[in-house]
Amino acid sequence: MDTIDWSNLSFGYMKTDYNVRSYYRDGKWSEPQLETSEYLNLHMAATCLHYGQEVFEGQKAFMGKDGKVRIFRMRDNALRMQSSARGILMAEPPVELFEEMVVTAVKKNRRFVPPYESGASLYIRPLLIGTTAQVGVRPAKEYLLIVFVTPVGPYFKEGFKPTPMVILREYDRAAPLGTGRYKVGGNYAAGLPADEKAHRMGYSSVLYLDAKEKKYIDECGPANFFGIKNNTYVTPESTSILPSITNKSLMQLAKDMGMKIEQRRVPVEELSTFEEAGACGTAAVISPISRIDDLAENKTYVFCTDDKPGPVCEKLYHKLRAIQYGDEPDPYGWITVL
């Protein structure tokens, strides 16, 4: 334990002491069970392995200066997991069960919550899988909800520093009436080739356009997109993006800073009008975008020329982090203090 270099953690996996599990059988969820094993005993014909019945969540807990641990917007993650589960016909874990399991997983692994000064956090990964053995394409009757945690540093290795992103028009992530709005594993599998290509070319992430018309901005790999202009926070509305809890939080903070909020379709050409742009998500927090290259169209949109985030990104980032770490009061009821 003493050997963990908290300030240099990457967004990886590290074994912790416990995970928490609940089994759905005969229409009922079991009492949460504490587990020390990192492995599952799973039937080879389980629906999660063959037909993608798998949804997950991503959330974080933060160690405050006061030594208290704070979990961010846990209820919103519970509700989003329910929506994802409904989206691919899985049993929905009750909000209370989800919250109890998250709290237990954090409390039992408290020694893995990175210290305040490190700027790192404890990533919480709730995972729901279909476990019934069957070969026909039908929803499972039995499910397993697991919550595990792992300490993490920044998702983009540059942290809160502007990075370039790329539009690769030859790839789609999710269809307008498909599963993009749910946090299902298949969406991430579909995104792997574009992600790999973008990384190989030196970009931090792909910026996806809507799959149907290729006219509007969808989202940035594992994060939502936002642009800033004329004291306005603009973010795409689309049926194929994941409703980000970070984005929802930033919209609230921006509104309270006196900015206007526009959640609507955002045409690609509008990129040329933004003073700042960023990607936001639990893992990414805010990742300012330095420029976006639309390779097929041979266009480049530049948001900053030095290594510094713009002033609005800067303000939003510090405000969000201050609430998450407990440096500033939480007027919105977003935090569960342990």
- Residues of this chain that interact with ligand COI (CB under 6 A) are 58, 222, 281-283
Return the DSSP state at 46: B
Stretch that binds ligand PLP, among 103-111, 159-167, 226-234, 237-245 (CB under 6 A): 237-245
Is residue 222 involved in binding ligand PLP (CB under 6 A)? Answer: yes
Strand partners, 143: 24, 130
What, of ligand COI, ligand PLP, none, does residue 224 touch, CB below 5 to 8 Å by kind?
A: ligand PLP
Nearer to ligand PLP, 80 or 291 (CB): 80
61 touches 136 (CB < 8 A):
no
**242 in contact with ligand PLP (CB under 6 A):** yes
Q: Which is nearer to ligand PLP, 34 or 322 (CB)?
A: 322
Q: What are the residues whose beta carbons fall under 8 Å from the beta carbon of 160, sequence distance 6 or more?
A: 154, 285, 286, 287, 288, 309, 317
Give the whole-angstrom CA distance, residue 86 versus residue 7.
Answer: 39
Cα→Cα distances 89→82, 85, 130, 285, Å: 10, 6, 10, 30
User: Which positions from 269 to 308 touch ligand PLP by CB under 6 A, shown as an x/- string?
Assistant: ------------xx--------------------------
Per-position x/- string for 5-44, each x denoting binding to ligand PLP as judged by CB under 6 A, each - no binding: ----------------------------------------
Within 13 A of 234's CA, how many CA atoms are on the CB side? Answer: 21
Residue 284 to residue 280: CA distance in whole angstroms: 6
Least gap, CB of 127 to ligand COI (angstroms): 11
Contacts of 132 (CB under 8 A, 6+ apart): 43, 46, 47, 140, 141, 142
Q: Which is nearer to ligand PLP, 73 or 291 (CB)?
A: 73
Bridge partners, 277 (sequence order): 227
SS (H, E, C) 233-274: EEEECCCCCCCCHHHHHHHHHHHHCCCEEEEECCEHHHHHHC
53 or 247: CB nearest ligand PLP: 247
Query: Which region among 156-164, 205-213, 222-230, 297-305 touches ligand PLP (by CB under 6 A)?
Result: 222-230
Nearer to ligand PLP, 45 or 322 (CB): 322
Per CB under 6 A, residues contacting ligand PLP are 58, 219, 222-224, 242, 244-247, 281-282
